Structure 1
Amino acid sequence: MTSTDAVPTTAPAPTEAPSSGIPDLWFELPPGFLEFDLEEDSEERMVRMADAVDPLFADATPEQKLSLVVSGEYILQTMIAGGAEHVSACLLRMSDGKLSQATLCVIIERPDVGPESQDRRGTARRTAVQWHEQHPDAEVALIMLPYGPSALCIRDQGLQLPGVLFGLDDPIPTTIRQVQFCVPLRTGPGSALFLFMTEDIEHWAEYLDVVSGIMKSVSADEPDGDSKPAADNPDAGGTESQA
């Protein structure tokens, strides 16, 4: 992984089905990631995050720390409004010594269909086709993770950050590079949408290594090795990664 001097590795992070309280899947966060409490008050969260960032990255400029906290909270609020069940941010030291930040979001999408229509490979394939049609300039592919089939999309997106967050009158234009994975669930109809984004396009190749490690850790197995039963359909197989 990229960083060795950041936040320690977190415990495997579950996303839970609201009806059962049982995690749909688990995944590991590498060192350098700070998971947000989505139920926490916004002001309290920003203060806590600032307190966490300051001692961990003493050589970062005040502007870097402010950008991480303020823009991170803005993106976090947007993701919460979009139904995010997990959001974490990272501040990593890259191979050239520069500090870099990025955000990870996980959303569980649950279609209103019965289990008999579950087709994991078909879902991933249809999503890849849809993404290609929506974003013709993006890099779109159908891949196989240890957890199972997934659609992948890498693209650049222009955003306007509210200038008021930084004490400015005008919005701040920025370009975000993001990679998203649509991972059909093994536990029933629905998919986990993993979205990883950063403004630091210069270090994108290093970030792909970080994201690859996260996605390879996705598993239906709990950390102690106990497995949840997968849905009974021929697409629910595949090699499982131990979390």
Structure 2
Amino acid sequence: MDNAEEVQVLGVEGIALPPMTIRLPEGMHAIEVSLDETERTEAVARLVRDIYPRGEESLWEAMSAVYSATAQEMSSAGVSFFGIGLYDIGDGGVAHCSLTVAVFESGETDQDVVAQGIFAIHSPDPLRDVTWLDLPCGPAVSLISFRKLIVDGEYTKSGNDEELTMGQIQVHVPFSTGPYTVVITLDTASLAQWDEFTHAIAGIVGSLEFPVSPAQSGQLG
């Protein structure tokens, strides 16, 4: 998971968002949901083929329809893109995670003020491990939590209902260039690889940058 892919430039439909870039780890198949409908459809088709390289046209078409609908819903909810991470863990096993990046208006341009507010809101929650972070791009707050789900026996190898534990790492990062906050969320049920996923998201948030656009440079000057 250490080798990173090219930097992704993110945006959110309907928001004049300042520039933001992020680097994704190898094995993360992502789609920018803020693309226009035609571009998004093409991106989903590529995503599905990446995830299911040995699939057939019927599978690709079915999964493309599912992911296209999901991307549309996420776009309207402020999500910039979502990704699916698939990693070979040997003996035919695969570790799986999902990643979403969403941006919300915070109404405040001071990064410290926003981060302190996020930390104060979530710190009392006994079900979350809340930590202050000092990233290269500024202050941030991470939230780690676990929850148990019941998987219907129809979808398990045993045929019986089984309990599944999901882990989530969520990092809130205020923009340094505008009144926005980006929320990066990684979910996984592959808890045996938890340390590796923790390392992966640390690399993701550590790569986050808020470049100053030419217009902003002029304003600052």
Same fold (TM over 0.5): yes
Gaps of 5+ in 2: none
Q: CA deviation at 1:200?
A: 0.9
Return the match for 1:87 from 47, 65, 82.
82
1:36–1:172: structure 2 CA closer, same or farther, 3 Å change rule? Answer: farther
8 Å contact kept, 1:221–1:228: no
Task: After superposition, give the CA deviation of every residue in 1:95-140 in whole Å (9 maximum; x if it has no partner).
Answer: 88732111111111103x3xxx53211211221221222x313111
Within a 5 Å distance, the mapping from 1:163-242 to structure 2 comes to 174-221=164-211, 229=217
Counterpart for residue 104 of structure 1: 99
Q: Which has the higher strand share?
A: 2
Task: After superposition, give the CA deviation of every residue in 1:78-109 in whole Å (9 maximum; x if it has no partner).
Answer: 64453211111110124887321111111111
8 Å contact kept, 1:152–1:179: yes
Q: CA deviation at 1:180?
A: 0.7
1:217–1:109: structure 2 CA closer, same or farther, 3 Å change rule? Answer: same
Q: Separation in 1 of the partners of 2:142 and 2:208?
A: 15
8 Å contact kept, 1:16–1:22: no
8 Å contact kept, 1:154–1:180: yes
2:120 paired with 1:122: no
Q: Separation in 2 of the partners of 1:227 and 1:91?
A: 39
Q: Separation in 2 of the partners of 1:171 and 1:51?
A: 31
**TM-score after normalising by structure 1:** 0.66
Within a 5 Å distance, the mapping from 1:47-66 to structure 2 comes to 48-55=46-53
Counterpart for residue 143 of structure 1: 133
8 Å contact kept, 2:10–2:80: no
Counterpart for residue 13 of structure 1: 9
Q: Separation in 1 of the partners of 2:166 and 2:180?
A: 27
Q: CA deviation at 1:147?
A: 0.5
Q: CA deviation at 1:191?
A: 0.6
Amino acid at match of 2:200: V
Corresponding residue SS for 2:112: helix
8 Å contact kept, 2:22–2:208: yes
Amino acid at match of 1:127: I
Q: Separation in 1 of the partners of 2:189 and 2:178?
A: 35
8 Å contact kept, 2:11–2:17: no
8 Å contact kept, 2:99–2:185: yes
Q: Separation in 1 of the partners of 2:46 and 2:18?
A: 29
Counterpart for residue 61 of structure 1: none
Q: Separation in 2 of the partners of 1:54 and 1:12?
A: 22
1:105–1:187: structure 2 CA closer, same or farther, 3 Å change rule? Answer: same
Q: CA deviation at 1:15?
A: 2.8
**TM-score after normalising by structure 2:** 0.72
Counterpart for residue 62 of structure 1: none
**Which deviates more from structure 2 when the two are superposed, residues 172-181 or residues 119-128?**
172-181
Aligned length: 204
Corresponding residue SS for 2:126: coil
Amino acid at match of 1:183: V
Percent pairwise identity: 20
1:178–1:81: structure 2 CA closer, same or farther, 3 Å change rule? Answer: farther
